[in-house]
């Protein structure tokens, strides 16, 4: 497992992007906590991540390359359009998915909705350059608190870690925009 800094990523961006596109599962910082993910269109990688987290049928959210990606692949209606203006930020918006092939079936478990996120953090620039959605989920076994210290991150078994010190934030606020237009917030 490799340990990378932001500068390492910048210096070797083509190599990091190639690793992600070839199926790497990696840990990265966000504006809230560390996330673990992979290319959300790579079924093999998503299934591997699902096994690492011991996660059953619960869907994963994704960091998307841009708001344009959301508009092309999802159907943000009503309040959702206005809430897109909150991005980037510490929010995950659950919206109807109009392009069911935008992510592999193991990402959202075949649901017709998708949790989308654009962190207010440089990691969003990397995802924009990859130009594919990247799974975003906390580093833990399902139901356990998220890991934040390097020693815990290293135990997770990812292919590489982009590390920028301990993170003690809270996970993003989830806003579900699929239930009759009702906004439901939870952490």
Distance CA 26, CA 24 (A): 6
- pLDDT at residue number 123: 98
Q: Report the distance separating Cα 153 and Cα 35, nearest Å.
A: 10
Q: pTM for the whole thing?
A: 0.93
Q: What is the pLDDT along the chain (187 residues), one digit of tens a residue?
A: 899 999 999 999 999 999 999 999 999 999 999 999 999 999 999 999 999 988 888 999 999 999 999 999 999 877 777 888 888 999 999 999 999 999 999 999 989 999 999 999 999 999 999 999 999 999 987 677 888 889 999 999 999 999 999 888 888 888 888 865 555 655 5
Q: 2-186: which CATH topology?
A: DHBP synthase (3.90.870)
Q: What pLDDT was estimated at residue 179? A: 66
Residue 86 DSSP label: G
DSSP letter at 172? P
pLDDT of residue 186: 57
Cross-sheet strand order for the sheet of 134-138: 2-4, 160-162, 26-29, 34-37, 134-138, 61-63, 113-117, 91-96, 173-179, 182-186
110: phi > 0 → left, psi -120 to 50 → alpha, else beta; which? left
Strand partners, 116: 62, 93
The pLDDT, as a whole number, for residue 175 is 85
The span from the CA of 99 to the CA of 121, in Å, is 27
What whole-number distance in Å separates Cα of residue 132 and Cα of residue 139?
A: 21
Q: Are residues 46 and 60 in contact, defined by beta-carbon separation less than 8 angstroms?
A: yes
Which of 77, 65, 52, 15 lies closest to 141, judged by CA?
A: 52
Q: What is the pLDDT of residue 142?
A: 67
């Amino acid at each position: 497992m490799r340990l990378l800094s932001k500068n390492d990523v910048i210096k070797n961006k083509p190599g990091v992007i190639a690793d992600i596109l070839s199926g790497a599962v990696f840990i990265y910082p966000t504006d809230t906590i560390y996330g673990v993910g992979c290319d959300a269109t790579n079924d093999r990688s998503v299934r591997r991540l699902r096994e690492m987290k011991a996660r059953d049928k619960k869907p994963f959210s994704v960091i998307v390359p841009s708001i344009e990606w959301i508009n092309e692949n999802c159907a943000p209606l009503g309040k959702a359009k206005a809430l897109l203006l909150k991005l980037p930020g510490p929010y995950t918006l659950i919206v109807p998915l109009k392009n069911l092939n935008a992510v592999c079936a193991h990402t959202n478990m075949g649901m017709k909705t998708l949790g989308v996120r654009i962190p207010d953090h440089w990691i969003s620039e990397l995802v924009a350059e990859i130009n594919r959605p990247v799974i975003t989920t906390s580093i833990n076994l399902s139901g356990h608190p998220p890991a934040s210290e390097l020693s815990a991150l290293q135990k997770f078994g990812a292919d590489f870690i982009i590390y920028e010190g301990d993170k003690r934030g809270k996970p993003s606020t989830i806003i579900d925009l699929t239930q009759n237009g009702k906004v439901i917030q939870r952490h």
